[in-house]
Amino acid sequence: MDYMRKKPLDPTAHHSSKLKKELKTMDLILLGLGAMVGTGIFVITGTAAAKYAGPSLIISFAIAAFSCVLSALCYAEFASRVPIAGGAYSYAYTIFGELIGWITGWLVVCEYLLANASVASGWSGYVHGFLDGLGIPFPNALRASYNAENGTYVDVIAICITFIVMFVVMQGAKKALRLNNIMVIIKFALVILFLVVGVFYVKPDNWTPFAPFGMAGITTGAAIVFFAFLGFDAVSMAAEEVENPQRDIPRGIIGSLAIATILYIGVTLVLTGMVPFSNLNVKDPVAFAMRFIDQNFVAGLISVGAILTLLTVLISMMYGLTRMIYAIGRDGLLPKGLSKVDSKTKTPKNATLVIGITSAILSGLVPLENLAQLTNIVTLMAFAIIAAGIIKLRKDFGDPKINEFKVPFVPVFPIVSMLVCFYLMIQLELSTWIVFGIWLVLGLAIYFLYGYRNSELGKNKE
């Protein structure tokens, strides 16, 4: 039995794409920013500063960003040399073989499903707060996912917004990303507004003590805020819809990550300078900081803007995941119906429906608080696999061509990337590792019971 059969490296030897090529560099940068800049700035910064790192959260962000930059370089080289849909799944399939490719794809499926559901739940929380302020409260039973003790059973708003985003993504890459681009511009305006107003209220005394929880707090903070950078890999999944993937995808990945890192560090610096870090354990830290300095109008703008712009994370994540599911279905490791492309919109309609419905169920019914760290551990593992893949790519196929992106200092950078990923993984709780193991076992069961037997590559070799 050949569990390590590989796709050819030559992109022309892969399936011909039925997706429409219409995306450029700026579309990809905004796609990456749409996925990254949202929950990290509007939610995570406050709790991470209050509970883990204090003002030294800027170092936590720098560590997490360093890990992601190393991973982004690896993704960029793969994207320029293997410009096909599927992102990390397709890269691992090409270099390590089918089983490792499937496991990598399975990890990314978990990452994106949980991220989608988490963001939908968080978006619902913002909307409920807004409706409560207008005197239009929802019944308690319909406000959040199942929790009998709190009297909640289903999050209706999270389900509704997930279906709306699913419909938007089904309209085609350009239409979905046009809405994403508008929202990203609004989001940028809100962040700049916060920085411009907030910098005048910074009190340097609030940065003391700088690292109240010590180095342990900084590294734990890095493992937590790593969630804020999830999504740059969605750019690589758009490969078959990009006009010039060898050039534009590396630019999209690295450009979006660089801009997001600057924004995160800037917002964290101003936020912890405006408000004592111990006060920041709130769901809306950026708006809270404005209320703290009696800028209530600006706080209101940021709150409404957050409700609108968190949609970009949902759009980007659902877009990326549906393209990977499309690629896996096309390869036969999941049912072939998932690779069906709508003749009118040129989008993977069935894959989008399946992902939308699954995300809606998770966000509306399943309590996700205890699974948040699972999103980080599966992503870090996938990043480590891709870093190892660059070393093997160079060993088996040599250096990139002149027009292809090249990771500098191979194998040093990929090895450092793997070490940083593993270091951040061991910062996470034992319960997270247990659930991680269960997810891997489930993925292996699906592969051996279905994927291996139905693999298109296996059928072709036979």
Confidence class of residue 305 from pLDDT cuts 50, 70 and 90?
confident
- pLDDT at residue 15, rounded to an integer: 52
List, for residues 376-388, the tens digit of each pLDDT value.
889 889 999 999 9
Entry pTM? 0.83
Round to whole Å and give the CA distance between 385 and 272. Answer: 35
Q: Per-residue DSSP letters for 230-292?
A: TTGGGGGGGGGGBSSHHHHHHHHHHHHHHHHHHHHHHHHHHHHHHS-GGG--SS-HHHHHHHH
Round to whole Å and give the CA distance between 354 and 337. Answer: 11
Cα angle vertex 345, ends 19, 27, to 5°?
65
Place of tokens 């193991």: 437
- pLDDT at residue 356, rounded to an integer: 92
List, for residues 39-74, the tens digit of each pLDDT value.
667 777 888 888 888 999 999 988 888 888 888 889
What domains lie within the chain, and their CATH numbers? 25-455 (1.20.1740.10)
- pLDDT at residue 282, rounded to an integer: 77
- pLDDT at residue 321, rounded to an integer: 87
Round to whole Å and give the CA distance between 50 and 34. Answer: 26
Nearest to 95 by CA among 383, 396, 403: 396
CB-based burial label for 247 (10 Å; 0-12, 13-18, 19+): middle
Q: Per-residue DSSP letters for 327-393?
A: HHHHTTSS-GGGG---TTT-S-HHHHHHHHHHHHHHHHHS--GGGHHHHHHHHHHHHHHHHHHHHHH
Is 369 a residue whose pLDDT tops 60?
Answer: no
List, for residues 169-220, the tens digit of each pLDDT value.
888 767 777 777 888 888 888 889 999 999 999 999 999 899 999 898 998 8
Confidence class of residue 83 from pLDDT cuts 50, 70 and 90?
confident
Range 91-95, long-range pairs (CB < 8 A, 24+ positions): 91/236, 91/386, 91/389, 92/385, 92/386, 92/389, 93/6, 93/7, 93/331, 94/6, 94/7, 94/8, 94/9, 95/6, 95/389, 95/392, 95/393, 95/396
List, for residues 279-303, the tens digit of each pLDDT value.
988 777 888 898 899 888 888 888 7
